[in-house]
Structure 1
Amino acid sequence: MLNYKQLYYFWNVAKYGGVTRAAEQLHLTPQTISGQVSELAQSLGVDLFYQSGRRLKLTSAGELAFTHAEEIFQTGKSLEARLKNNQHHTDLLLRVGVSNVVPKSIAFSLLSPALQLQEPVRLNCYEDKLESLFAELAVHNLDLVIADRPLPADTGVKGYNHLLGECALAFYGTPELVESVRVDFPRSLNDAPLLMPGPDSALMPALERWFADMGISPYIKAEFDDSGLMKAFGQEGVGLFPAPEAISEQAARQHGVSIAGTTSDISCRYYAITPERRLKHPALEAISQSAKSNVFSTVASRA
């Protein structure tokens, strides 16, 4: 029978990248950790790690074991949270990190299906830069990160990318600004006042390449790390701003802006990044299904 204590030690060694760091986290000696992991490998009849310089790396068998260990201990953590925090009710806890460059209306549309399940869900939302959210995901303080880009392979964080959907990029503005650039779009963006997302956004480099390819030189008036602040400036007529076509209805209703033009040369993609390969949490399944069938399907059908 599988020794779950040994599996837990192995999981921590894989997660923290070595025996010494795992021992520090668990407040145990490296010898204890190393011995228990060796016994696990022996009982399974496989090598779980191999030495690469000063680091331990997972073998193919180790990768498989780690994936299953992730699911086992994530399930255990969810059970513990439910028993401790929900003694008098049965709400499922869903801890979500949202990148600060993701439009608030997109985040709401993606996450709201989790609150409409028959089984009540308590949603804990955190907004931050992706680097901070990935760090929280790595230590399982988050169940999900909503981002505008997949998890980079070189972050050292174990996670899985699930594409929720994509749509074309649109340029929004007040009626006066929209009217001034609507004819001969996108060439009309040349010298037009523009608000840009900051360098943390996946849109920034894509926009710069597109402008260069199209021979367009807009008048960039400001850059914003926070998409909501960019829209607030756009609402006041400071400049046009790029945002997903999928938010057109919300943008008109909340900010009084409309679309000046769109381009399919740039895609706005949104991902759910989870510590598990499979979306086992009922709320995660609802988010994924709704994103594909509702949030982005209307835009896709207009294309």
Structure 2
Amino acid sequence: MKTTGLNYRHLHFFWMVAKEGSVTRAAERLGLAVQTVSMQLAQLDQEVGKSLLEPQGRRLVPTEAGRVALAYCDQIFLLGDQLQDALDGTDTGKMRLTVGISDSLPKLIAFRLLQATQQLGQQVKLVCLEDEFESLLADLALNKLDVVLTDRAVRGGGGLRVFSHLLGESDMKLFGVQRLARRYRKNFPASLDGAPLLLPTRNNALRGRIDAWFVQHGVRPDVVGEFEDNAMLNTFGRNGMGLFFASAALRRDIEEQFNVELVGDAPELREHFYAISNERKIRHPAVEAILSAVHGGPFAGD
């Protein structure tokens, strides 16, 4: 088998120095002498035939070649950590799944999707991280995540080699606390003209469709709040600040958890749910379980 000839110990020292910006600080973290680290960096430069670090003021920063090497090191040593987690899991019998959840995705939908991982023969340990869509995609591309759950597909033509898998979709319903529901339920949706509405921000995949739906029905609601985080939006809705849309698939959960009532149906409005995966030769069994989720399962409406 052909090998690169790289000494990965030398590569790890380069990675640490590039992160710390100093041989001294990296040596302290590694518990080694400064001369030892410096000598092995020099040996790495000889191995690759070019300098990977250069001084910039008091810091050491990657050269152009060093920046390329650093990007690979990020993946190499992250995968090393994941390998260690996987090996540790052989003792406990658990499989680790690191999931990125878009802040715009309803948390109850995320829960239903992840339920599929609990049907495997091996127990799955979930590590769930919430962030903005673009940040999650970057982490996925660096193999920091196994999968991203979100409400939008990745646009084509980007530099990231990640792929969108439509898991399901659901039409929308409008909810509100009892006093608001009773007031605006009659003559819905015409009743929404001037009604207090809580909406996702304009960078949300659903927002454009909601605005178009208002235009279609000739109503101009009073938008009293816009939210990036879906859970925050629902919290304000539960406390009576305004009416809010939610997936039909979640009707019972929404009514019970937030003590709200149905105002009306908006079948023309549909919310989509995606799993975003990267290009891996070894597919994660728990990711496969999520991708196999059927439309009539976690998204069956009431």
TM-score by length of structure 1 reads: 0.71
Change (3 A) 1:272 1:4: farther
- Cα distance in 1 between the residues matched to 2:200 and 2:282: 30
Structure 2 regions of 5+ residues with no counterpart?
6-17, 20-40, 51-76
The 5 Å alignment of 1:179-258 reads 179-258=182-261
- Cα distance in 2 between the residues matched to 1:197 and 1:266: 14
- Using the TM superposition, name which of 112-121 and 210-219 deviates more: 112-121
Structure 1 regions of 5+ residues with no counterpart?
7-23, 35-72
The secondary structure found in structure 2 opposite 1:294 is: coil
Quote how far apart the aligned CAs of 1:213 are: 2.5
Change (3 A) 1:234 1:4: farther
- Cα distance in 2 between the residues matched to 1:288 and 1:152: 19
The secondary structure found in structure 2 opposite 1:259 is: strand
- Cα distance in 1 between the residues matched to 2:187 and 2:243: 16
Tell me what 1:274 maps to: 277
The secondary structure found in structure 1 opposite 2:220 is: coil
Quote how far apart the aligned CAs of 1:75 are: 9.2
Quote how far apart the aligned CAs of 1:256 are: 0.9
2:171 corresponds to 1:168:
yes
Quote how far apart the aligned CAs of 1:259 are: 2.0
Tell me if structure 2 keeps the 8 A contact 1:173–1:239.
Answer: yes
Tell me if structure 2 keeps the 8 A contact 1:195–1:239.
Answer: yes
Matching residue's letter, 1:127: E
Change (3 A) 1:278 1:248: farther
User: Going by fraction, where is helix more abundant, 1 or 2?
Assistant: 1
The secondary structure found in structure 2 opposite 1:102 is: coil
Tell me if structure 2 keeps the 8 A contact 1:163–1:272.
Answer: yes
Tell me what 1:124 maps to: 127
- Cα distance in 2 between the residues matched to 1:292 and 1:78: 31
- Cα distance in 1 between the residues matched to 2:286 and 2:278: 15
2:158 corresponds to 1:143:
no
Tell me if structure 2 keeps the 8 A contact 1:100–1:226.
Answer: yes
- Cα distance in 2 between the residues matched to 1:279 and 1:258: 46
The secondary structure found in structure 2 opposite 1:164 is: strand
Change (3 A) 1:126 1:75: closer
Quote how far apart the aligned CAs of 1:244 are: 1.2
Tell me if structure 2 keeps the 8 A contact 1:160–1:277.
Answer: no
Tell me if structure 1 keeps the 8 A contact 2:174–2:262.
Answer: yes
2:156 corresponds to 1:153:
yes
Matching residue's letter, 1:141: K
Percent identity at matched positions? 35
Tell me if structure 2 keeps the 8 A contact 1:101–1:200.
Answer: no
Quote how far apart the aligned CAs of 1:92 are: 1.0
Larger radius of gyration: 2
Tell me if structure 1 keeps the 8 A contact 2:174–2:263.
Answer: yes
2:295 corresponds to 1:292:
yes
The 5 Å alignment of 1:23-62 reads 32=48
Change (3 A) 1:92 1:170: same
Q: Indicate which of 67, 70, 85 corresponds to 1:81.
A: 85
